[in-house]
A and B are shown apart, each in its own frame.
Chain A
C-alpha cells in the first residue's frame, strides 16, 4: 500500500468543497438525531418507565451517537465517493499527480470519518441540552476518538461497496439490506436481552452491536460485559476492512 502525508491533501480538497455545504449538512446532522431522540426518547420513553434505574433517553443517546457516526461515514463513502469517481472525475485528475490512488481512497475514508464525527458530536450536543451528558468530561473526549474510529470502520466498509458498484442504485442493497437492519439488531433502541438465543448470537457478529456497547459503557460509565473483546474485534476488523477497501478501489481506479 502506498500511503503518505498526501492523504491530508485529499482531505483538504474535501474540506474546500465542503465549505459550500456546511449549513445544509449541519442542519441534516442535527435534525436526524433530534428526530430519533424526540420520537423514541421522549415520545416512546414515556411509556417505558425506568431502564435499569435510568430514563430511556439515557439508554438511547449512546446508541444513536454510534449509529449517527456510522450513517454519516457510510453515506459519504458511498454516494460522496461515487460522485467523485464517476460524475466529477476527481479521482482521474488525482491519480495523475504525485497523490496515489491509495492515498485518494484513504483521504476519502478519513473524510467520511470526519463527517461521522460531526454528526456524532452534534448529536452529543443535542443530548446535552436534553439533559443527557457523558458521565465525565474525559469520557466525552474518549467518545470523540471513538467516533473517528467508527467512521474509519464503516467508511472503509462502504468503500468496498463503492469499489464494485456499477451505479447509484446498487447502494440501496447495502443501505436497505445491511445498514438499516443492523440499526435494529444492534441494541441501539432496545436491549437485546429478550431476543431468542440465535438472534443474540447473530447480533454479536454485527460490528454496530459492539460499537453501541462500547459507546454506552463510555457514555454512562456503567461497565458492560464483553466491551474489551468487542473493541479488539472491531480494531482487527477495521484494519482488515481498510486494507481490503483500498486494494479494491485501486483495482477500480487503475486500469
Chain B
C-alpha cells in the first residue's frame, strides 16, 4: 500500500519544552493509525502538525508527498479534522455551522445543503438541523464535529480523542461511523487514551511517551509480544509475597507487583491458576491480556501530569 503520511525525525519545540522529540513513522493509505499515550505524550502536537495547523520545528513531515505546513491549503482542502476540543460555532445553528464551514472549503451553499442533509443523516442528527449548539448534548456535539469534518469529503481524517466524555452508546455510535469511513477508503489518524478504542479501530498503533515513540505495531501483536495472552491478578498484602511466589515457582509467567496487586503475565494461565487455587486466595482474577497492559507496561504506572 502507498504511504500517505511520512515523518522522519519530526520534532516540535515550544521554547525550552520539547513536545515531540525526533519521531519517525509512516501511515499507509486506507489504514487506521493510532497514537496512544498518557497526557502530555505529544500525540495532539503530532497530529496538529499532520493537519497543518502547527509548524514543524525540525525533521520532515509529508502528507501525500507534499510537505506539511501551515500555509499548505491543498492539504487542508483534503483533510478533515475532528478536534479534541468542541469548537463548534455557538452563535450559529447546526445547519448554519455546516453551511458556513463548507464555505471555508469553497463549497457553495446549494452543494453544502445536499451534503449536510446526507451528513446529518450519517451522524443521526437530521432532527436537529435547526437547533442551537447549546441545545445539543455532548454526544450530539461530537457527532456534529464528525459531520463537519466530512463536508469536504476528506481523504485523510484526523480524529483527536473523538470520544472523550461520552457515554457508551454515543461512543459506540462514533466507532461505528469511523469504521464505516475507513471502509469507504478514508485514511484515519486517531489519538486516544482509551485502549478499547484503539483496539476497536486501529490497524496499527504507536505508543508515545514524553515526545518519543516507545513501540509501534498491530494492537494484537503488541499485546502478545509484550504481555502474553493472559494476565492473572492477585490482590494480596505484600508480606505474603515470598510464600505465594515460592509456591508458584516453576510456572512460566513473569510477574510484577503494583500497589496492592501482583500481576502475572502468561502465555497460558492454566498451570498458574491450578497452583493458585491450591493456595485458596480470596481475590484472584484470570483475564485475557489487553492493550491496557501494554500501555501501562510501556509508560509506567505512575501518574503523568
B73 touches which of A13, A94, A98 (Cβ 8 Å): A98
Minimum Cβ distance to chain B for residue A244 (Å): 19
Q: How many residues of A contact B (CB 8 A)?
A: 23
Q: Cβ of A54 < 8 Å from any Cβ of B?
A: no
Is A247's beta carbon under 8 Å from chain B? no
Stretch at the interface among A84-92, A122-130, A205-213: A84-92
Contact across chains for B54 and A20 when beta carbons are under 8 A apart: no
Bound Cα distance A88, B91 (Å): 9
Are A94 and B104 neighbours in the complex by a CB distance under 8 Å? yes
B53 touches A254 (CB 8 A): yes
B91 contacts A20, C-beta separation under 8 Å = yes
Whether, in the assembled complex, B101 has its beta carbon less than 8 Å from a beta carbon of chain A, the answer is yes
Q: Which residues does chain A contribute within 8 Å of B280, judged by CB atoms?
A: none
Q: How many B residues touch the partner, as a band?
A: 20 to 34
- Check B54 against A90 for contact (C-beta < 8 Å): no
Q: Most chain-A Cβ atoms within 10 A of its Cβ — which of B54, B85, B103, B106?
A: B103
Given contacts A2-B71, A12-B100, A255-B54, contact A96 B90 (CB under 8 A): no
Q: Does A163 contact B (CB under 8 A)?
A: no
Given A90-B87, A92-B87, A255-B14, decide whether A16 and B96 contact each other with a Cβ distance below 8 A.
yes
Contacts of B88 in A (CB 8 A): 93
Closest to A100 in B: B71
Q: A97 near B: Cβ within 8 Å?
A: yes
* Interface pair A96/B55, CB less than 8 Å apart: no
Whole-angstrom distance between the Cβ of B160 and the nearest chain A Cβ: 10
Chain A residues proximal to chain B, CB less than 8 Å: 2, 6, 9, 12-13, 16-17, 20, 88-90, 92-101, 254-255
Q: List 25 A-B contacts (CB under 8 A).
A: A9-B100, A9-B104, A16-B96, A16-B99, A20-B91, A88-B87, A88-B89, A88-B91, A89-B87, A92-B85, A92-B87, A93-B148, A94-B104, A95-B70, A96-B76, A96-B79, A97-B76, A97-B104, A98-B73, A98-B106, A99-B104, A101-B70, A254-B55, A255-B14, A255-B54
Knowing that A16-B91, A88-B90 are A-B contacts, what are 18 other residue pairs whose CB atoms are under 8 Å apart, sorted by A's residue number?
A: A6-B104, A13-B103, A16-B92, A16-B96, A88-B87, A88-B89, A88-B91, A90-B87, A92-B87, A93-B83, A93-B87, A93-B101, A94-B104, A96-B53, A96-B83, A97-B76, A98-B106, A100-B73
* Chain B residues proximal to chain A, CB less than 8 Å: 14, 51-55, 70-71, 73, 76-77, 79, 81, 83, 85, 87-92, 96, 99-101, 103-106, 148
